[in-house]
């Protein structure tokens, strides 16, 4: 027999265990772990965060920028505060005016938003400015003081707060805007891309662990000196790189050289040197601060700083140590030949040949072809041909024959294409 049961009684007597099971399943899906794993872009991010420089991650939607920041905050034990820049008004970053009892005497203070107050109370944290490229120009202007001076209204963020932002390229952003040049020039720009192996292993439950770089206390003065020599040496030789505002709107919204961004670059070189970071990490940071062109010039000048002095090589060829890396070895040998050309004499010329033989015996033979050919052209009539040339003659001859063969192949191909 059917009975009428009140709906409230059904609700009380029939709990929803399936929702509890669903919660358990979701908890298991969220139960992941981390492992130490080499990750160039993650190391670059943690190095910039360690240097207390604002970082902007560029990447397509769904690439994992937000997840990386969440994991970074958890690994560093920093409370994460996420602010979606595009859904805020300019006053949310500059402060809301609060009229007191007597504005003429007390003024009108600018009250900060609640998230800023929480950061100050915590004394530390990771402020994540998401969707930066969808923020309209007025909001971007209001963010200038926050990013550079760490001020919101009358409130000063504590030193323990780090700032990281994320943005999608304008082509893939919802109602996207190009970043204004003043705001773009305040960030270290990092291109964020997915790594297939990292994604697969992460979905299996293990993600790479973000850790701050270990700075060697004994290397700190040396790192600062090296960074200053590197940046000042390049800008002394290339003064037009001190400030170069790009001509297109898109490039102005990325990294470009200015005194501010060179100062950030100097800090990053010092931190990377003290941490013993790889060249790949340093390349990401330098190019993300002053742009690809100036950044690559700086990296090339760093290589030249590590080259041995040509005069030292000529003074003691027996104990000369040549760079292992091919391009650096080539540059060192070219420097020796240039030094002989600048101050030519018979003894220096003979010593240079001895160095080329040493390079031939300890490295790739093709690296000595150009220096040997140039050095041979510096011979004066009263200089006898040194015995060392015999060791190099075969290599130079083989290279010349290969060049002539390549030219013949190119000419044949050109004729066939007509």
Residues 273 and 360 in one domain: no
Residues 265 and 296 in one domain: yes
Residues 169 and 236 in one domain: no
Counted domains in the chain = 3
Distance CA 57, CA 341 (A): 48
Where helices occur in 82-211 by DSSP H, the ranges are 91-94, 103-106, 114-122, 137-149, 181-184, 196-203
Predicted pLDDT of residue 411: 58
Distance CA 48, CA 271 (A): 8
Domain finish residue from 208, 240, 255: 208
Residues 156 and 52 in one domain: yes
Residues 252 and 357 in one domain: no
Helix (H, G, I), strand (E, B) or coil at 338: helix
Residues 88 and 194 in one domain: yes
Closest CA to 372 of 342, 352, 346, 348: 352
Paired residues of 128 in beta bridges? 82, 164
Which one is predicted more confidently, 291 or 105? Answer: 291
Q: Residue 106 — pLDDT band, cuts 50, 70, 90?
A: low
Domain finish residue from 305, 329, 349: 305
Where helices occur in 78-134 by DSSP H, the ranges are 91-94, 103-106, 114-122
What CATH number has the domain bearing residue 88?
3.40.50.300
Give me the domain span that covers residue 348.
310-416
Residue 58 carries which DSSP code?
E
What whole-number percentage of the chain has pLDDT above 70? 83
Strand segments, DSSP code E, in 168-290 are 188-191, 206-208
Residues 293 and 405 in one domain: no
What tens digit of pLDDT does each residue of 130-145 get? 888 888 888 888 899 8
Distance CA 290, CA 269 (A): 13
Question: For residues 49-69, b (16+ Cβ closer than 10 Å) or e, as one string?
Answer: bbbebbbbbbbeeebbbbebb
Q: Contact at 8 Å (CB) between 90 and 47?
A: no
Task: Let me know if residue 93 belongs to a domain.
Answer: yes
| Greatest mean pLDDT among 36-45, 237-246, 283-292 | 283-292
Predicted pLDDT of residue 193: 86
Task: Let me know if residue 43 belongs to a domain.
Answer: yes
3-state percent helix, strand, coil for the chain, nearest multiple of 5:
60, 10, 30
What tens digit of pLDDT does each residue of 188-247 get? 999 998 888 888 988 888 888 888 889 999 999 999 999 999 999 899 888 999 999 998
- β-strands 96-97, 110-111: how paired? antiparallel
What tens digit of pLDDT does each residue of 269-285 get? 999 999 999 999 999 99
Q: What average pLDDT does the structure give for the chain?
A: 83
Residue 408 has pLDDT above 70, yes or no: no
Residues 223 and 266 in one domain: yes
Residues 46 and 134 in one domain: yes
Residues 235 and 188 in one domain: no
Q: Which residues contact 24 (CB under 8 A, 6 or more apart)?
A: none
User: Mean pLDDT, to the nearest integer, of 19-44?
Assistant: 89
Q: Which residues contact 217 (CB under 8 A, 6 or more apart)?
A: none
What tens digit of pLDDT does each residue of 142-185 get? 899 899 889 887 788 999 999 999 988 866 655 667 889 999 99
Residues 172 and 231 in one domain: no
At residue 240's C-alpha, the angle toward residues 234 and 245, to 5°, is 115
Task: Let me know if residue 26 belongs to a domain.
Answer: no
What counts of helices (H) and strands (E) characterise the chain? 20, 11
Predicted pLDDT of residue 97: 67
Distance CA 250, CA 170 (A): 9
Residues 295 and 264 in one domain: yes
Domain finish residue from 287, 305, 323: 305
């Amino acid at each position: 027999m059917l009975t009428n049961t009140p709906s409230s009684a059904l609700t009380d007597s029939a709990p929803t265990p399936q929702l509890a099971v669903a919660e358990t399943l979701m908890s298991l899906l969220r139960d992941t772990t981390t492992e130490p794993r080499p990750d160039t872009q993650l190391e670059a991010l943690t190095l910039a965060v360690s240097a207390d420089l604002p970082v902007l991650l560029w990447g397509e939607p769904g690439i994992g920028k937000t997840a990386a920041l969440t994991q970074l905050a958890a690994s560093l034990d920093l409370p994460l505060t996420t602010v979606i820049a595009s859904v805020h008004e300019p006053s949310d970053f500059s402060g809301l005016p609060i009229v007191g009892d007597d504005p003429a005497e007390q003024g009108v203070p600018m009250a900060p938003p609640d998230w800023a107050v929480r950061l100050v109370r915590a004394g530390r944290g990771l402020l994540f400015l998401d969707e930066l490229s969808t923020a309209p120009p007025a909001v971007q202007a209001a963010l200038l003081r926050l990013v550079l001076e760490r001020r919101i209204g009358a409130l000063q963020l504590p030193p323990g707060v780090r700032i990281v932002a994320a943005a999608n390229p304008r082509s893939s952003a919802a109602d996207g805007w190009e970043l204004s040049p003043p705001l773009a020039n305040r960030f270290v720009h990092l291109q964020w891309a997915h790594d297939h192996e990292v994604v697969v292993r992460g979905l299996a439950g293990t993600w790479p662990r973000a850790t701050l770089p270990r700075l060697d206390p004994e290397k700190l003065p040396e790192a600062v000196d090296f960074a200053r020599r590197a940046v000042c040496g390049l800008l002394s030789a290339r003064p037009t790189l001190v400030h170069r505002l790009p001509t297109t709107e898109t490039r102005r919204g990325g990294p470009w050289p200015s005194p501010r961004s060179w100062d950030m670059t100097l800090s990053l070189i010092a931190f990377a040197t003290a941490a013993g970071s790889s060249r790949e990490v340093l390349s990401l940071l330098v190019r993300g601060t002053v742009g690809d062109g100036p950044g690559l010039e700086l990296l090339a000048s760093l290589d030249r700083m590590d080259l041995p002095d040509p005069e030292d090589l000529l003074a003691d060829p027996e104990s000369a140590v040549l760079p292992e890396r091919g391009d650096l070895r080539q540059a060192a040998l070219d420097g020796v030949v240039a030094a002989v050309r600048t101050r030519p004499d018979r003894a220096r010329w003979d010593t240079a040949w001895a160095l080329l033989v040493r390079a031939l015996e300890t490295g790739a033979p093709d690296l000595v072809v150009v220096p040997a050919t140039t050095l041979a052209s510096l011979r004066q009539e009263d200089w006898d041909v040194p015995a060392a040339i015999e060791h190099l003659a075969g290599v130079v001859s083989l290279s010349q024959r290969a060049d002539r063969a390549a030219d013949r192949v190119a000419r044949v191909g050109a004729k066939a294409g007509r």
